[in-house]
Structure 1
Amino acid sequence: MDADIMENIFLLVLVTLLSVVQNAFFALKVEKECKSQNTKAAAFERLSCAKRNCMDTYPTFLAIMWCAGLCLSQAPAAFAGAVYLFARQKYFVGYMGQTCQSTPGYLFGKRMLSFLFLMCVVGIVNFLLGQYCGSDYKEYIQTITKTLSPLLLIP
């Protein structure tokens, strides 16, 4: 693979691989709970539901993270993706306890997905402006997103 291409997608690939490892962790936790001799039906159902909820949003997460990284800027998209994985872990672990403990992880993950979606839209609009109007604001927008991405950590 060309070094320039790899340099432009390396962080996105890294976050994607971390998400695959996290999915494997979720699957192992559900399998372990299923095989447990003293398993309670409610605990297994909560764990299974948490995994299913995480898997439902996984394609959306991957699509908008890659779109944001390719259309606008790799570093903020990968950062938001990594924070999303942390929020998803918090959601999953919170769901293992009481369902209400998963709410902070859910809301934080929703914020990361919204930021990534906004990055996608801005990147596409900037591309269209460059194609049809001849004005390219990509450097300014990248500076703004790199500056704002750490602010996503504020609760």
Structure 2
Amino acid sequence: MDTCNIVENIYLLAIITALSVLQNVFFALKVDKECTSHNAHATAVQRVCCANRNCVDSYPTFMAVMWCAGVCLNQAPAAFAGLLYLVVRHKYFIGYMGQTSQSTPGYLFGKRILFFLVLMCLIGILNYLLTRYFGSDYRETVETFTSAASTLLLIP
């Protein structure tokens, strides 16, 4: 397998990873701005810090399942779900800055996206094991199903 072929299989995941890093920088700048503001209220600082901490806590899980789903199964639906997760995480962060109740829809939607990515990981690993030990390859069928199912993530 040459380098060009490897990059073709992961470039969407790399783009989403780069976007997530930029988003983390944005969150850190927001926290820094809120903490150094002259008219900072203690509750606003606490909300921003808590939102940032919650996003940072879920970040390794998101990265692991997105990359596992993309490499083990199909990068396109995994990257699409990753992009949706970044949008939802941004909505969660901004909602948490206002009132904590405004962040609930983003939190619930993010959980659903993570569940989809975990499911993709498990299916990809199961398909690999079936192919390796039983000679039954369902990759094409599963890729078609996950590509179609990823659009269902848009339904609130």
Category of TM-score, reference length = shorter chain: over 0.9
Aligned mates of 2:148, 2:106 — CA distance in 1: 23
1:71 and 2:57 are equivalent in the alignment? no
Letter in 2 for 1:69: G
User: Which 5+ residue runs of structure 2 have no aligned equivalent?
Assistant: none
Partner of 1:22: 23
Q: TM-score, normalised by structure 2?
A: 0.98
Matches within 5 A, 1:93-112: 93-112=94-113
- Identical positions, percent: 65
Aligned mates of 1:134, 1:8 — CA distance in 2: 23
Aligned mates of 1:4, 1:71 — CA distance in 2: 15
1:143 and 2:144 are equivalent in the alignment? yes
Letter in 2 for 1:36: S
1:2: how far off?
1.2
Aligned mates of 1:117, 1:35 — CA distance in 2: 39
User: Which 5+ residue runs of structure 1 have no aligned equivalent?
Assistant: none
Number of residue equivalences? 155
Q: TM-score, normalised by structure 1?
A: 0.99
SS of aligned partner of 2:40: coil
Letter in 1 for 2:48: L
1:86: how far off?
0.4
Aligned mates of 1:148, 1:118 — CA distance in 2: 11
1:70: how far off?
0.3
Q: Deviations over 1:97-123 (max 9, x none)?
A: 000000000001000000000000000
1:145: how far off?
0.5
Shift >3 Å, 4+ stretches: none
RMSD: 0.7
